[in-house]
Amino acid sequence: MAESAVKTKAAPAPGVGRRDFRFLVLKWFRELTLVPVIVVLMIAGAVVNPVFFTPSNLINVAEGGAALGMVVVAESLILLTGKFDISLQGTFGLAPLLGAWLVAPKASEGLGTELSPWLGLLVVFLVGLVVGTFNGVLVIKANFNAFIFTLAMSILLTGLQLGWLGGQTVYNLPEAFIYLGAESWFGVPVAVWVTIATFAVASWFLRYHRIGRAMYAIGGNLEAARAAGISVDRIRIGVFMVASVLAAIGGLMQAGRVTAVTAGQGSNLIFSVFAAAVIGGIALEGGRGRMIGALTGVILLSLVTNILTLSNVSSTWIDAVDGAIILIALGLAKLIGTERA
């Protein structure tokens, strides 16, 4: 029999105000899949070590998550438009290293010019912008495969970071340069405020701005977006640029937190970034996912790292446990994801 999916009767009509309650619950369910997991982890943390619930430890968790969070926002934006960028971790390391090198004293591996720290910050920003533009133009316009191109780019950036100072660490950085990562407002690190604000702005932009919606359309059906008159290439390149700048700012937070830039800053970060985004519901195939979900992914990963440290798990085992927990969270997200309406 013909499936009468299109009902002919006009009434009762679905009221505009009437949003199916079940539908709403399921919609939020997907975004907040990880909340119960986070609650369980917090209980586990409290059991493992009483230090867990002290304000200083929780702030520590947030501070650790802030830098990661910036890169997760960055990667999520690109993932939504149906591409991805592995080299964000290279930008995360190289941009602050170049900035710091420019403004740090000679004695602490800097250039010794003692230029204004603002110039250093400008360099951090510019490195992000240049790398993002380069990636965007070549992946989108020249149609290079995003995986292999940004992987090569990542290796190049990380190599530059290592080679520039022969593997040395830049330290003794000027105050303005480390402000973002080292200072606090109302007892909470500035980096945490900035990351929360970034999540909020990105979330609002994706929901209410025309370009934000266009990003979902591009990731969801590129041809349809193009036919609807969306400038798909311009938006996708722009997203690459914004993302790299965000990653550079994340690197700056990390530098401020440890008041130095090591030659290894950012290495292997991208795995945590992808893990946080994906378990937070950002679809790898594009067009689906929300910032609130990505945020829960960041919180989850930060908590796991903290609890593992507090529970005196041997440092050689931390990676294995970390990986196992990510796999479990992925399985959970999949389970909920497929049960969606």
Residues that bind another protein (CB under 8 A): 1-10, 13-14, 16, 19-20, 23, 207-211, 213-214, 216-217, 219-221, 223-231, 283, 287-288, 341
Q: In whole angstroms, how close is the CB of 18 to another protein at the nearest point?
A: 9
Q: Say what angle helices 291-310 and 190-208 make with each other, to 10 degrees.
A: 150
Beta bridge partner(s), residue 185: 188
Closer residue to another protein in complex, CB, 59/283: 283
Closer residue to another protein in complex, CB, 10/142: 10
Report yes or no: 311 and 48 within 8 Å, Cβ to Cβ.
yes
Closer residue to another protein in complex, CB, 9/56: 9
Closer residue to another protein in complex, CB, 107/227: 227
Report yes or no: 81 and 214 within 8 Å, Cβ to Cβ.
no
Which residues have a Cβ under 8 Å from the Cβ of 201 and sit 6 or more positions away? none
Q: In whole angstroms, how close is the CB of 291 to another protein at the nearest point?
A: 15
Closer residue to another protein in complex, CB, 115/292: 292
Residue 259 falls in which region: left (phi positive, over 0), alpha (psi -120 to 50) or beta: left
Closer residue to another protein in complex, CB, 106/234: 234
Find the farthest-apart pair of alpha carbons in the chain and give their distance in angstroms, rounded.
82
Q: How many beta carbons lie within 10 A of that of residue 76, not counting itself?
A: 29
SS3 of residue 261 by DSSP = strand
Residue 133 to residues 59, 156, 239, 248, 269: CA-CA distances in angstroms? Answer: 35, 16, 9, 13, 21
Report yes or no: 260 and 267 within 8 Å, Cβ to Cβ.
no
Q: In whole angstroms, how close is the CB of 14 to another protein at the nearest point?
A: 5
Closer residue to another protein in complex, CB, 285/314: 285
Report yes or no: 174 and 252 within 8 Å, Cβ to Cβ.
no
Length of the chain: 341
Closer residue to another protein in complex, CB, 277/303: 277
Q: In whole angstroms, how close is the CB of 106 to another protein at the nearest point?
A: 49
Q: In whole angstroms, how close is the CB of 289 to another protein at the nearest point?
A: 9
Evaluated on CA atoms 280, 332, 323, 288, the torsion sign reads negative
Q: In whole angstroms, how close is the CB of 75 to another protein at the nearest point?
A: 18
Q: In whole angstroms, how close is the CB of 201 to another protein at the nearest point?
A: 14
Residue 337: closest CA among 313, 329, 113, 258: 329
Q: In whole angstroms, how close is the CB of 299 to another protein at the nearest point?
A: 24
